[in-house]
Amino acid sequence: MEENIKVGGEKKARKRIYPERLTVDALDGVAELEKLCFSQPWSRKSLELLTNEGIGVGMVCRKDGIVCAYGGMMCAVDEGQITNIATHPDHRRQGYGKAVVEALIKYAKNNHLESISLEVRESNRAAIELYSALGFKVEGKRKDFYTKPTESALVMVLKVK
């Protein structure tokens, strides 16, 4: 399926991106993406939590069999907490991160979650813009939440219902 997008005044066709549920077979690729994107990546063992129904959920996008983006969310009662969203540098600004977040939102709706929250580095303008465009609102700040480098986090929340 293709959708038309406007780029520089002209329309270009972009293939629709369909994330899939994260399964054990994709964990090695997700773990590699974690190492590439984060100064303190989750271990493969920790990422396994995102494949355990009732604890967490992960969504992954692959292109030509390679993991190019993924996101994870831990679930407790009626709340979701997005843990990580990562897109390979070669695939950024192509809709993969957005597709992953949209898939997590759809999962939250289908599973009757009330809200989804996340933390994002204050300097990560691209991510903040994406989350804002999808309806997340800044509801707080965590001082010095991140390390390597030390930076505060914005807490963003989406009311699902």
Task: Tell me, yes or no, whether 124 lies in a domain.
Answer: yes
Residue range 40-98, pLDDT digits in tens: 999 999 999 999 887 899 999 999 889 999 999 999 989 999 999 999 999 999 999 99
Would you say 122 and 152 are in contact if contact means Cβ atoms under 8 Å apart? yes
The β-bridge partners of 129 are none
Task: Tell me, yes or no, whether 39 lies in a domain.
Answer: yes
Query: Between the CA of residue 146 and those of 50, 61, 90, 150, 151, what are the distances in Å?
Result: 21, 26, 24, 5, 5
DSSP sequence for 65-111: TEEEEEEEEEEETTEEEEEEEEE-GGGTTTTHHHHHHHHHHHHHHHT
Q: What is the pLDDT of residue 3?
A: 41
The β-bridge partners of 158 are 116
- Domain CATH number, residue 116: 3.40.630.30
Q: Phi-psi region for residue 148, left (φ > 0), alpha (ψ -120 to 50) or beta?
A: left
Task: Tell me, yes or no, whether 9 lies in a domain.
Answer: no
Task: Tell me, yes or no, whether 26 lies in a domain.
Answer: yes
pTM of this structure: 0.88
Q: CB 22: neighbour CB atoms within 10 A? A: 24
Task: Tell me, yes or no, whether 141 lies in a domain.
Answer: yes
**Owning domain of residue 45:** 17-159
The number of domains in the chain is: 1
Q: What is the pLDDT of residue 52?
A: 87
Residue range 128-156, pLDDT digits in tens: 999 999 999 999 999 999 998 999 999 99
pLDDT exceeds cutoff 80 at 10: no
Task: Tell me, yes or no, whether 1 lies in a domain.
Answer: no
Task: Tell me, yes or no, whether 155 lies in a domain.
Answer: yes
Task: Tell me, yes or no, whether 148 lies in a domain.
Answer: yes
Residues 4-29 have a mean pLDDT of 74
Q: What is the pLDDT of residue 15?
A: 73
